[in-house]
Structure 1
Amino acid sequence: MTYTTEIIIDRPREEIIKVFEDSSLLPHWQRGLKRSRVISGKEGEVGSKRKLYISIEGQSIKMTETIIKKNLPEEWHGNYTAKGMESIQKNYFEAIEDHKTKWTSYSEFKFSGFMKLISKLLPDIFKKRSVLVQQDFKAFIEEGKSVKTN
């Protein structure tokens, strides 16, 4: 499964990248993120791995993020693995005006086991989640609205 999402954010690209890279701010725009920790490599660098603990729709998910490409401020790519799922997220940041940035995210998912069934029954939930993450990021950086619940 592959799809693309994009959003225009009313902030300069440099400001967006600063927030995007600050792991302490992740819970404010990554809905359901309970905690995260670096498990190998240097935080924020290509090859580093981070364990993410997420609660979505009452389900607890442990996911591993690996940074696979970092060419900021233009692009940042990550690989995400969890039980029954692997995803590559390619994020591109384009300055379209002095104070506006377009964030385009290309998502590719591969499923196995039970997650393969979920992806067939509810294919839209993955794209809706990606759109929601971008909307939450926009609300956080533009208006200071946090999704943090704990």
Structure 2
Amino acid sequence: MKFNGSIDIKQSRDKVAELFADPAYLKEYQEGFEKKELLKGDAGKEGAISKMYYRNGKHEMVLTETIISNNLPDSFEALYHHKHMDNTMKCTFTQLEDGVTRYDTEVNYTRINWVLPRLIAILFPGMYKKPAQRWLENFKNFVEKQ
């Protein structure tokens, strides 16, 4: 399952990319984010592997992020692994007119091996798209307040 998202942010591409690249700000726009822990490589660089911890009430989710490429301020691509699913996410940042940056994402779920999430992906793909779009909107609001 693949889907795209896009949002225009009233800020320079360099500033948008700077804020996007800093894991200290993840909690500002990703609900439930608790921490990011580097396991291997150089933080933010191609090949770096990190654990990302999220909590929603009593539920904890741990993702393993492997950076595929980091060409910021132009683009960033990573693989996210969870025990029940894998996905890649590619983010691109395009400078538009008058200090506006377009932030595009492409998310591709390459593995969903748990019955309920797979069924939801087939019957209700919006259940995966809505949180991704909400994070784009949250990020836009965060960046524009800086």
What TM-score comes out, normalization by structure 1 length?
A: 0.89
Q: CA RMSD in A?
A: 1.5
Alignment correspondent of 1:85: 85
Structure 1: how far apart are the matches of 2:30 and 2:50? 14
Q: Does the CA contact (< 8 Å) of 1:84 and 1:116 recur in 2?
A: no
CA shift for structure 1 position 58: 5.1
**Alignment partner of 1:106: what SS?**
strand
What amino acid is the match of 2:71? Answer: N
Structure 2: how far apart are the matches of 1:5 and 1:57? 27
What TM-score comes out, normalization by structure 2 length?
A: 0.92
Structure 2: how far apart are the matches of 1:76 and 1:57? 30
Alignment correspondent of 1:113: 114
Gaps of at least 5 residues in structure 1 are: 145-150
Alignment correspondent of 1:22: 22
What amino acid is the match of 1:75? Answer: S
Alignment correspondent of 2:142: 140
Gaps of at least 5 residues in structure 2 are: none
What amino acid is the match of 2:47? Answer: G
Structure 2: how far apart are the matches of 1:81 and 1:57? 21
CA shift for structure 1 position 86: 0.4
**Alignment partner of 1:50: what SS?**
strand
Moved more, 105-114 or 8-17: 105-114
Q: Does the CA contact (< 8 Å) of 2:120 and 2:127 recur in 1?
A: no
Report sequence identity in percent: 28
Alignment correspondent of 2:60: 60
Structure 2: how far apart are the matches of 1:97 and 1:67? 30
Structure 2: how far apart are the matches of 1:100 and 1:57? 36
Structure 2: how far apart are the matches of 1:34 and 1:23? 10
